[in-house]
Each structure stands twice: as C-alpha cells, then as structure tokens.
Structure 1
Amino acid sequence: MKQSLQLKLGQQLTMTPQLQQAIRLLQLSTLDLKHEIHEFLESNPLLELDDDEQAYVDIPASIESKSAVESPADHSEEERVDSEWTESIPEELSIDSNWDDTYQSSATAGDTNNFDNQNFEGDSDFESRNAPAESIQDHLIWQLNLTHMSDRDIEIAYAIIECVQPDGYLSISPEDIWESLSSELDDLDIEEVTAVQHRLQRFDPVGVCSIDLRDCLLVQLEAFRDHPLYKSTHNIINHYLPLLGSRDFTQLSRKTRLKEEALKDIILLIQQLNPRPGSAIDAGDTDYVIPDVTVRKKQDVWQVELNNDALPPIKINETYSAMASTAATSEDATYIKTSLQEAKWFMKSLQSRNETLLKVASCIVSRQIDFFELGEEAMKPMVLHDVAEEVGMHESTISRVTTQKFMHTPKGIFELKYFFSSHVNTASGGECSSTAIRAMIKKLVAEEPAKKPLSDNKLAAVLADQGIQVARRTVAKYREAMNIPPSNERKRLI
C-alpha cells in the first residue's frame, strides 16, 4: 500500500480546561462543592481559608443590591506580584491543552482519606456524628446482653434476632428457626423457641420479632390492659383485622355489636400502636439539606440572596504568592506561578457558579411571584426553556443549576426543580400548572367528608367545575405521586 499525506479541514467544539472546571462545579450540590473546596485547599498551597470570614466572591447579594467597591490598598501587594509574572503566564489555556501541557502539576488532588489528617478542634462530637447508624439487630443484641438468660436461650435469641427485618418482623417463622437450630441444640422443642420469641417481643421497641401484624398489635396492646375497651379492642384485632383494614365500619359494627362512638374510641386506641416497630430504630443515614439561596420579602419586594455561609470563604495566600518573584530556583517559581494560576481559575469558577445560580434563582422568583404570595395553587407552568430564554443560557446549563440546589423560602425549603412543571389547558383557554393541580387535589382531599371520601372521578368533576379539564387517570397519577391512598382507604369514622 502506497503511503501518502492528506490535509483535511474540519470544525469541532472543544471545551477549555477552565470551562470544564466551571461546568463541573456548576452541577455540584452544596455539600459536594464544600468537599471539593476542602480537597483543593489541601492540594494547592496558594489557596487558604479566609480568617476574616469574608465571602470568597464579590457578587450581588440580592436582586437590587450592588457589589461593594473594594479599596485599592487592600490588594496592592497582590497586584504588584501579579504584574511581575502575568506577562509570562497566559490568561487562558488553549482549547486543546491540558494542565500538564503548559505547567507542571502543582500537587496531586487529594482523596477523601485526606480528611483523616485534618484538625477537628472543637468538634468533640465528630466521631458520634460519623459513626455508622445502629441497626435493629444491634439494638436488640444490646438489650439481650443486659438480660439474664441461660446460654441455651441466648443462642436461640441470637438466631431469632438474625431473622429480624428492618420493619421489626421476622423473615421466617419460629418453626423454620426451630428446624435450623435442631441440629445444633439437643432435644430442642418448638416451645422453647416460641418462649424466647415472646420474651424478645417485649424488648424495645415493643412488638419486634412478631410474625404478622396481628401478633405485633396484640403484644403492644398489653400495655393497655387497664383500658375499659381493652377486651373489645383485643377482639377486633384478633378476629376482625381484615375488616378494619378495608375500613368496612358498617360490617365491623354489626359483627362486634359495637356502637359508632365505642368504635371510634377503639380506632383511636389502635392508632396509638405502631404497625412497624422497627421504624423506631432508623438505620439510615441522615441527609442534610443546605439551601443555596434565600428568598425573603423586604418592603413589599421579594429579594433573592445567596447563602454565603454554606461554603467556606477562601482567598489567595499573599505570603506564598509574593514568593513567585523571589524564589531561589526557576522550578520553585514555576510551581508557585502554576499554583497561583490554578487557584485564581478555581475562584473564578466559583464566582461564575454563584453568579449563574443567583441569576437563575432570581428569574424563577420573578416568574413565580404568585406562589410566594398565594401558595402552591397559584403556581404557574414553567419549563427549562422559559428560564433559559430569559437569562440567555442553554437549557442544559439551567438543568445543571437547578439540580440539587435548594431555595429557602417563607413556605419552606424547595429544590429549584420544584418550580418547574408542565401545564394543563383550562376551559377559558389559559394554562394551569400541574403543581397547582396537585395542590388543589390535596386541598380537596383534606376537606372531604370523613365517611364519604371523594373518588378520582369526583375529584376530576370538581376540577372541571373550576375550569380545569383533567382526566380521571391523571387525577389518580397525581394522587399516587403525593402518596394519597384511594377513596376506599381514606374512609374513616373520626
């Protein structure tokens, strides 16, 4: 095959390293970004925490406020150092370059293990807050170690506890546990396993290690032996629990020969019992939400402010930056200059992130003023394209900004994506937000008659009377999304 040379012209989009960093920081949540800042502080000596607790970026604090003018004397030393080397360091890298192509790497990015070397002075509760959560098995074993039992019963108890599910119920029957222990314990009777199980059921939380709901509720009901309706309640749980679950109060009243008032008191008593005792021991990790922006009304004007307290304030280390021109060797000078440029690009990316976040949040608030004034029912339909067109950005950028970003409002904390919803046409030719429709359904369900709840067809008819044409299956979809049970399960006496 003959070799030859050919020239081709083409175009392609390539992002600069600065743009890649800015996009990556833009889509991070507040907690992830805080972790990213700590990693960068460990890897770059030219960046440090601002002890003066000033914000690391100077951007508008609200919609109507302006940035404060900085004094030239505050950065005179830094500007002097910058002027000496900025001519040799490009302001931006070319689009087809990497960090190491132009500069030597200043440091290796740290990993999560670097946090082990940090000084957590004053944080005496650090270990307890970062310890793994206690499971239901751990909680029961801790009580078992404090209980006086024979070695044989303790071995049976351990086998039972291993079969406890997170909701507190046993995954297998006592008979299956007895069969699995028969080969290990001589002359083991099923009565021994049952006796140990009954004893474990009185551990905290009461009702654990039960086989089914009836068994769990009966164990918890023992604490109300002195209640005047104890026998009637025990009878309903023991024999008529399916009728109670289906809310067939007419049939239940006829079979138990109880009047409506007595049945109401019994239902109130049963509602004090916990059908999922294991839920009292939460083994999951707690998720904390830190709002990125705050919305408040000042002098009849809704204002948006960034939550600058959510992230640690950072600044350039002036001592190290001044060494760029006084370094003993050229390698040291290059290292300092490289680190300084990376630190400035990082701070510029943070500033760009905050400016974009504030701009998008301000746009959302301006378009959803009725929500802040009147509530969810006044929510207007809005999609990503609406905000992107108003702020002059791409829809993908708006999607990154609104993902895992939260807004603190007088009505609570909401994710920015909460304010985006599709629309439904009204009879008058207008549009209604799906979020507003869900709020209307929730309000109608809250105000419905207790003995005769509204069906999905009835809810659709009520909305149609208000000019909102919604199909029954759409009402059912919205109702299920809000975890509202169907009408037959919402029937109640009280």
Structure 2
Amino acid sequence: MIFTELRTTQRQTQALSPRLQHAVRLLQMSSLDFSAMVHDMLGRNPFLEQAEAADGLEEGDPPAGPQPEMDGRAQDVVDAADTPLSSEATMPDDREIWNAEGGASAGRAEDGEFSALELTPVPCSLHQHLRSQLNVLKLPERDHVLACIVAESVDEDGYLRTPLEELAPLSGLEPPADMDEMQIALKRVQALDPLGVGARSVAESLWLQLPAISCEQTRQLAECIVRDHIELLAARDMQTLAERLGVTPAEAEAVCLRLRRLDPRPGWRFSSSQAAYIVPDVLTSKVGGQWRVQLNPAVIPKVRMNQIYAELFQRHRRQGDGEMASHLQEARWTLRNIDQRFATILDVAAAIVRRQRHFLEFGAMAMKPLGLKEIADEVGIHESTVSRVTNNKFIATPSGVYELKYFFSRAIVSSNGSACSGTAIRGLIKDIIDAENPASPLSDADITRLLARQGLVVARRTVTKYRQMLKIDAVERRRQHA
C-alpha cells in the first residue's frame, strides 16, 4: 500500500537580498555598462537627477564673483522680455527673424567660422564608394544593373563570398543573365577602387593589387609567388621559396616583404566600426616618492537625489503610491551602492599598488606573485568581491593602462627558493627574444634552457604559451635570411 505523509524540515540557506543583489550587479559592471545603467536610471527614476552644481559650491547657492557680461543679442532678449507689450508694438515678420537669426548656418560658430560639426566628414561605406564609381561609367542599363548587384554583394572586408551562380537570378532581367555576363560584371567591380575589391580569396585579392608594385622584376616574382607558391608565403619558408624561384633567400625575403605591404582586407578602411577606447577607473602617480591612487573623475557619475521631489512625496504620501515608493527606495539604494562601488574599487587598487610598486617603477621584470586572497585579507572583503572588482576595471599608470587583474599571477619557485611571477617570466622571455640573432632565432626549447640557467625551471609548453600570449611568432616565422 502507498501512504502519504507530511514532514517539516528545517535547514539554513544563504540567499542574497534584493539590495545585495543590486550592489553585486553594480560592482561587477564595467565602466561603460555602469555609465549606461546610470543614464537609463536617470531617465526612468524621478527621484534621481544629474548634479550640475559647480565644484566648491553648495547646491542652490549663487556663484561667487562677478557675473559674465551678456552679449548684445542676449541683452536685447532680456530688454524685450522686460518691456510691456503695447497695441502699437509690431512683431517682426518671419523674413526679418530669418535674416536676423536663421540667415547664418546653424552649424556656424559665433565668429562666423565653420564649426567642428560642419567640418566633420560624412562617413562613406564601401558599397556607396563602389556605386559612386559605377554611376560615372557609361554602361548600358543591363551591364550597370549586374555590376551593382556584384558590388552590393561584397562584404565589409571587400571580398565577394557569394557565388556568381547565386547572384545571377537576383537581377530579375529578361532574358536572365548568363555566367559570361556575370564574369564581365565581376571584372568591372574588381577594376574599381580600392585595389583588390571583389576578390574571392586572399590570393586573388593580392593578385589584383600586384599592378601597384612599380619594380617589374619584383612584380614578376610576386606574380609567381601568388600564383604558385602562396602556401610558402604563408608559412614564411624562405629557403624553399628561394629554391623554387631560383633566387637567393634575401631576394625572396624582399619580395615577400613587398607582398606583405599589400592590403589583405581592401574594404576595411570603409568600415563603420569605431575603435573602443578604454577609460581607466583609477589613476596612479608618484608624488614625493610615494605612489598615490585616486579615482578617475571621468567615470564617477554626477547623480544625486532630488530632495524636493523626495520631500514632497514623503509629505503627501498615500496608500496607493507603492510604485513611487519603490522608485524612492531604488534611488537611495543606487546612490549608496555607487559610493560603495567606487570605495571598494579604490581600496582594492590601492592595495594592489602597494604590493606591486616595484612593477610601477622597474617594469614587468619586477612583478611579484599575487593572489586574490592577499588583497581580500588586506581590504577585508571576500575573494569573490576582489574578483568582481578587478574584472573589466582598469588603472592608468605612467607605463600604460592595465586591467586590475593583470597584477595577479601565481608564484613560480626558482632553484634558489625565491618566487617569481608569470608576468616577470613573460617579460624575461620577451627580452630574450628581442636580443636574439634574427638570422638564427631561438626556439622554445632554447628559451627553456636559457631560463633554466638563470634558475627558472619552466616547462617548454609554458614557454610556448607565454610566447603566444605576447603575440610573438614561432621560430620559423621570426627567421630572417641575410
């Protein structure tokens, strides 16, 4: 038989309160995401406003010192506002208003010169650039349509990755376009600027750019390499390539160097993507022999509580104002968590700088091994909090901008018992490779043996991993033939 019974059990579980969850989300955000979140909250929370008070002034106090003089146009507006209207007063018509205010361009500066907005070039996409060239060619309508279809199918790198067989039915022409017509349309597009556009492979793109090589002998050798030995060019096997071409390794290296100056992505300069700049959260500098750490004012949001709205709501609060009450509570939590976020970032960054001050003075070779637990114990927070603080947070130093987690690395014990960080070993590997003979570069095994002579026992695969992290090519790619 089956019996049904009820049991009551007790157990303890750890749950994050909504306030703590909100604080954790703010702490682990990057500066860009955090700024976007604050901007969004300013738009939907009536109790938050952007602080625009001048530095050193209390909110609501008039600015001290002499007031700036108004120009003539502003003074006319004030005088007109103070003058009472009479029946005899006549308002200017639209033409007078246009001549007085709108005759000049809206983008002109006050001194009559062009403003920076007017001088900013209008971005042109690759497709627009190609169409503008096709429009000036005297082509029959059918040929123009087919060339435009090919040009519109080019991707942002300048390559045509769609087969011509699939592009032919898109024209909608009668009779349908055949492959000969599509090939002619492709040749027309490939003849346009930039050189190499419309290619279907890297080899074809390089082939289309070969006329840019002025030296005839170099161009002939480059044609042979692109046509028959493109794999040797990619592998940088100069010895085999020189034997195939019947030239010396130095001559083959010179031709390959000229080929590498060609553009493998001819459409990249028309790309609309913009570079993402890193704004450091913390600034550090050496003042009076001591390293000082401060928050970057550019990342601190200028947000405050609207005290007038908050007091009015508290004074006239009723039963059905639950949504406004939640907005007020959210505003208070946000301001408190913003202060806590930047205070935690500053404390963690200051602790890191104290531990890694030798790195700031002498470079990567002086980096000490550092773990999350050491910083957590010094600041008095949990290791997970340190991990959140150091992720996507950056510090500006005299030697560059680094992510805070860059300063953490495990200890590697040397033969004499001292500890060395992975960052210091990477710096040592870079110095060894920079000092090597270009004609006889060092392999990863050779670098491993050199490190062992200095008392650093590192596996060869670890050296390979560090070399790849430094974005340094392998030994064969670094070899230069005399």
Range of TM-score over shorter length: 0.7 to 0.9
Deviations 1:300-353 (A, max 9, x none): 2111110122233122223334435654x6469988776555433321111111
For residue 18 of structure 1, what is the aligned residue in structure 2? 19
Judge conservation of contact 2:283–2:396 (CA < 8 Å) in 1.
Answer: yes
SS at match of 1:304: strand
For residues 441 and 20 of structure 2, what CA distance do their matches in structure 1 show?
A: 55
Deviations 1:369-418 (A, max 9, x none): 12111112222222222211221211111111111111111222211112
CA shift for structure 1 position 178: 8.1
For residue 395 of structure 2, what is the aligned residue in structure 1? 407
CA shift for structure 1 position 215: 2.6
Judge conservation of contact 1:247–1:492 (CA < 8 Å) in 2.
Answer: no
CA shift for structure 1 position 280: 3.3
Quick one: which amino acid aligns to residue 258 of structure 2? L
CA gap 1:195/1:372 in 2 versus in 1, 3 angstroms = same
CA shift for structure 1 position 75: 11
For 2:423, which of 423, 427, 435 is the aligned residue? 435
Q: 1:156 aligned to 2:152?
A: no
Q: Unaligned 5+ residue runs, structure 1?
A: 55-69, 77-121
CA gap 1:227/1:303 in 2 versus in 1, 3 angstroms = farther
For residue 33 of structure 1, what is the aligned residue in structure 2? 34
How does 1:4-153 map onto structure 2 within 5 Å?
Answer: 9-53=10-54, 136-137=126-127, 139-141=129-131, 143-153=133-143
SS at match of 2:183: helix
For residue 92 of structure 2, what is the aligned residue in structure 1? none
Deviations 1:65-110 (A, max 9, x none): xxxxx99x9899xxxxxxxxxxxxxxxxxxxxxxxxxxxxxxxxxx
For residues 365 and 268 of structure 2, what CA distance do their matches in structure 1 show?
A: 33
Q: 1:467 aligned to 2:452?
A: no
Q: Max radius of gyration: which structure?
A: 2
For residues 196 and 2 of structure 1, what CA distance do their matches in structure 2 show?
A: 81
Judge conservation of contact 1:161–1:209 (CA < 8 Å) in 2.
Answer: yes
For residues 434 and 153 of structure 1, what CA distance do their matches in structure 2 show?
A: 61
Q: 1:168 aligned to 2:169?
A: no
For residues 357 and 414 of structure 2, what CA distance do their matches in structure 1 show?
A: 21
CA shift for structure 1 position 8: 5.7
Aligned-CA RMSD value: 3.8
For residue 77 of structure 2, what is the aligned residue in structure 1? none
Higher RCO by CA contacts (8 Å cutoff, separation 6 or greater): 1
Judge conservation of contact 1:218–1:234 (CA < 8 Å) in 2.
Answer: yes
Quick one: which amino acid aligns to residue 221 of structure 1? L
For residues 421 and 287 of structure 2, what CA distance do their matches in structure 1 show?
A: 27
Judge conservation of contact 1:178–1:189 (CA < 8 Å) in 2.
Answer: no
Judge conservation of contact 1:167–1:276 (CA < 8 Å) in 2.
Answer: yes
How does 1:302-451 map onto structure 2 within 5 Å?
Answer: 302-324=291-313, 326-327=315-316, 330=318, 339-451=327-439
For residues 134 and 372 of structure 2, what CA distance do their matches in structure 1 show?
A: 56
For 1:266, which of 255, 258, 278 is the aligned residue? 255
Quick one: which amino acid aligns to residue 476 of structure 1? T
CA shift for structure 1 position 163: 5.0
Judge conservation of contact 1:360–1:391 (CA < 8 Å) in 2.
Answer: yes
Deviations 1:17-41 (A, max 9, x none): 3322222211111111112212222
Quick one: which amino acid aligns to residue 203 of structure 1? L
CA shift for structure 1 position 283: 5.1
For residues 325 and 151 of structure 1, what CA distance do their matches in structure 2 show?
A: 73
SS at match of 1:277: coil
For 2:235, which of 221, 246, 260 is the aligned residue? 246
SS at match of 2:457: coil
CA gap 1:301/1:4 in 2 versus in 1, 3 angstroms = same
Q: Unaligned 5+ residue runs, structure 2?
A: 62-108, 110-114
CA gap 1:204/1:407 in 2 versus in 1, 3 angstroms = farther
CA shift for structure 1 position 207: 0.6
CA shift for structure 1 position 172: 5.3
Deviations 1:120-176 (A, max 9, x none): xx9997xx99x9x976556544544454433332333344345544443332565x4
CA gap 1:180/1:392 in 2 versus in 1, 3 angstroms = same
For residues 194 and 339 of structure 1, what CA distance do their matches in structure 2 show?
A: 64
Judge conservation of contact 1:456–1:472 (CA < 8 Å) in 2.
Answer: yes
Judge conservation of contact 1:48–1:314 (CA < 8 Å) in 2.
Answer: yes
CA gap 1:309/1:183 in 2 versus in 1, 3 angstroms = closer
CA gap 1:209/1:2 in 2 versus in 1, 3 angstroms = closer
For residue 186 of structure 2, what is the aligned residue in structure 1? 197
CA gap 1:202/1:465 in 2 versus in 1, 3 angstroms = farther
Length, aligned pairs only: 427
For residues 246 and 23 of structure 1, what CA distance do their matches in structure 2 show?
A: 48
Judge conservation of contact 1:364–1:419 (CA < 8 Å) in 2.
Answer: yes
For residues 10 and 213 of structure 1, what CA distance do their matches in structure 2 show?
A: 64
CA gap 1:236/1:38 in 2 versus in 1, 3 angstroms = closer
For residues 294 and 184 of structure 2, what CA distance do their matches in structure 1 show?
A: 62
CA shift for structure 1 position 435: 2.1
CA gap 1:349/1:213 in 2 versus in 1, 3 angstroms = closer
For residue 479 of structure 1, what is the aligned residue in structure 2? 467
For residues 12 and 264 of structure 1, what CA distance do their matches in structure 2 show?
A: 67
For residues 172 and 271 of structure 2, what CA distance do their matches in structure 1 show?
A: 35
CA shift for structure 1 position 52: 1.5
CA shift for structure 1 position 434: 1.7
Judge conservation of contact 1:379–1:433 (CA < 8 Å) in 2.
Answer: yes
For residues 282 and 187 of structure 1, what CA distance do their matches in structure 2 show?
A: 33
Judge conservation of contact 2:439–2:479 (CA < 8 Å) in 1.
Answer: yes
For residues 356 and 346 of structure 1, what CA distance do their matches in structure 2 show?
A: 15
CA gap 1:420/1:492 in 2 versus in 1, 3 angstroms = same
Deviations 1:423-473 (A, max 9, x none): 322111122222222222233223322222211111111211221111112
CA gap 1:24/1:209 in 2 versus in 1, 3 angstroms = same
For residue 221 of structure 1, what is the aligned residue in structure 2? 210
Judge conservation of contact 2:125–2:271 (CA < 8 Å) in 1.
Answer: yes
Deviates more, 1:184-193 or 1:446-455: 184-193
For residues 21 and 427 of structure 2, what CA distance do their matches in structure 1 show?
A: 40
Judge conservation of contact 2:282–2:349 (CA < 8 Å) in 1.
Answer: yes
